[in-house]
Amino acid sequence: MAKKKKAPDNTIARNRRASHDYLLGETFEAGLVLQGWEVKSMRESKVTLSDAYIQLHQGAAWLHSCHIASLNTTSTHNVIENTRNKKLLLHQAELNKLHDAMDKGGFTIIPLSLYWIRNLVKLKIATGKGKKLHDKRASEKSKQWDKDKSRIMKESRND
């Protein structure tokens, strides 16, 4: 039997700590203003989102501390900043929602994942509140119970 072909995964990078450290709220999709060498590095998946955060400044959203490693073939004529601040492309209504969530609700804006849509790089962002230690323990306990519950149900079906 022939091996199944794997579906193409358009994900460039994922922030795995986001759901562990934050209670996530509404999600948004934003475009990014990038330079050519950054796009080439993203094609090679040389991006880290773990330390990245988003700030609203001068009526726009900016991605800070997103590390994009440069390729060996990158031109030496360009000044390369691996953690350059990148502007996010959002509609004004989305910016207003994010601004209101930060001001009124005490939410922060967290980058979740970078992915391709056709030839465009998109960033999935979400509003979220930081979890306390007891919240992390409770969510870990509920995840463990869900795993145990599914295992018990599977065993009962097999008997």
Q: What pLDDT does 3 receive? A: 62
Dist CA 130 CA 11 (whole Å): 25
CA atoms within 13 A of residue 128's CA, in its CB half-sphere: 22
**Domains of the chain in sequence order:** 11-132 (2.40.280.10)
> How many whole angstroms separate alpha carbon 159 and alpha carbon 151?
13
pLDDT confidence band for 157 (50 / 70 / 90): confident
What pLDDT score was predicted for residue 75?
A: 65
Spatial CA neighbour of 128 closest among 47, 28, 61: 28
Sign of CA dihedral 106, 94, 56, 30: positive
From the centroid of its chain, how far is CA 38?
A: 17
pLDDT digit string (tens) for 28-51?
Answer: 999 999 988 888 888 888 899 988
Is residue 5's pLDDT more than 80? no
Segment 90-140, tens digit of pLDDT: 999 999 999 998 888 778 999 999 999 989 999 999 999 887 777 778 888
How distant is the alpha carbon of residue 39 from its chain centre?
Answer: 17
Q: Which of helix, strand or coil describes residue 90?
A: coil
Q: What is the pLDDT of residue 90?
A: 95
Summarize the confidence of residues 69-75 as an average pLDDT. 76
d(CA 101, CA 81): 31
**45 torsion bin: left (phi>0), alpha (psi -120 to 50), beta (else):** left
Of 102, 146, 121, 105, the residue nearest 29 (C-alpha): 121
The percent of residues above 90 in pLDDT, for the chain, comes to 33
Q: What is the mean pLDDT of residues 60-65?
A: 93
**Best CA proximity match to 128, nearest among 65, 48, 53:** 53
128: CB partners within 8 A, 6+ apart:
18, 22, 23, 24, 25, 107, 108, 109, 110
Residue 2 has pLDDT above 80, yes or no: no
